[in-house]
Every structure is written in C-alpha cells, then in structure tokens.
Amino acid sequence: MKKIIISDEIFDLFPDFYRGIVLVKDIQNQKSNKRIRKLLKKEIERQVAIDESSDGRILAWEEAHRKFGSDPDLYSPSIKSLLKNMRPNKALPFINSVVALFNHISLKYVVPCGGDDLAPVQGNLVLGISDGTEKFIPLGGELEENPFPGEVIYYDDVTKNVLCRRWNWRNGDITKIEVDSKKIVINIDCLPPVTPDMGNEARDDLAALLKQHCNAEVETLYLDSTNREIGLS
C-alpha cells in the first residue's frame, strides 16, 4: 500500500505543520464547468484586494521558505503566486474542474493547496528534505533538473521523481491532474496562524465541492506531528 509520509526533519523545522488531505478515489473531471467558474470568479473578486505583504497566513509561508534556504521573493509560495496571477485580469486559467476547485479553496482560506494524479506514482509520497539527487521536470516543461540539497520537496520515494519543488513553489509535470485522472490526492498545507481546525474546514469544503460538482468518491485524512504517515487505500 502506498503511503503519504511527512519526514521527521519537516517537523523538526516546523513542529506545528498540519496537512489536510482529500483522497479522490474516482471522479468525473471536466475541461470546463460553468458553476465552478462562477465559484472561482466570486472568490477572486472577494480576495483581489488582499495584501500579501501584511497577511500573516502568507508571511508564514515566506518565513518557512527562508528557513529551508529558499528566497520567497524569487520563488514565491504557491498562495502568493496565485494571488498575484489573478490580479491583472481578475481571473485565473481554468485548467480543469479539480484544479479550479482547489484554486478556489486556496483563495478562500488563503492556504497552499495542490494535487497530484496517483497513477504515475510508484512509491510513497514523501514531504521531506532533498539530498540533491532527486529528479524534477517542471509543469509544462521537458528538461530534467535537480533540487538543491536541503530543499523541502514532495517526491516519490521509489522513482525519486519530485512532485513539487520548494515545498509549494512549482509542481512537477509527471503527476499533473488531467481530465482523465481518476485517483488523485490533494493537499491543504497549514502553518500558524492557520490552525488545524481551519485546515479541516478547508479540506471538508473541498471534499464536498468535489462530490457536488464532479461526482467524486472521496476520503478525508490528515497528517501532523502525532500522525506522520497514512496509507492510501
């Protein structure tokens, strides 16, 4: 059985880290969905004026990136990038229903949120510290690169393929979610001032939306310092 594992080194650095997880076991994903577009648009309009330079939920991730040696001004945490990308046109690209829904949740709760297709994954999914030998192909790219030693990465511990670099900076291409993806894992990552209860609220909100709009079969899970690994049934 595959597992999601948060390494001890992560909790050494970030003892209050909490991850809400939505495991999608089956789903009807779509290239477009008017109801989801409306949800996403409404959230963009609500959050367009948020000030990422003073919001504690965003500053926490900038500080986390600095702590493991990444410059958040050059390599923005995903929630900061999402806010910046939506502003010029008050819109975000609609990749597919699943991606649009977790972008909606990310904006609504101001938390990093991302997902992966489990089909290409051979081993356990590990959030841990890179030794520099792991392999990464960025989303939409072709050239392989390596993370820097000491970087927080999310990776397949059998193939050493990196699903996301710099914790939540850039997703990998190999596990990207597409319309025909059926088994997916979506992570909602929380650092103070975002509490576990807030993370669970965001997770459960997303699970309900996936069931409502995508006829998804889902399971909700979590990881924290007292529960560092879970099996994916």
The pLDDT of residue 60: 98
Distance CA 6, CA 15 (A): 11
* pLDDT tens over the chain, length 233 residues: 899 999 999 999 999 999 999 999 999 999 999 999 999 999 999 999 999 899 999 999 999 999 999 999 999 999 999 999 999 999 999 999 999 999 999 999 999 999 999 999 999 999 999 999 999 999 999 999 999 999 999 999 999 999 999 999 999 999 999 999 999 999 999 999 999 999 999 999 999 999 999 999 999 999 999 999 999 97
Neighbours of 211 (CB within 10 A): 14
State which residues form the domain around 114: 3-231
Based on its alpha-carbon atoms, the radius of gyration of the chain, rounded to whole angstroms, reads 16
pTM, two decimals, is 0.97
Residue 9: which CATH number? Answer: 3.50.40.10
The pLDDT of residue 233: 76
Going through 130-231 in order, the beta strands assigned E by DSSP cover 152-156, 162-165, 170-171, 184-190, 217-223, 229-231
Please name every residue paired with 116 in a beta bridge, in sequence order, or none if there are none. Answer: 185
The pLDDT of residue 1: 85
Q: How many domains does the chain have?
A: 1
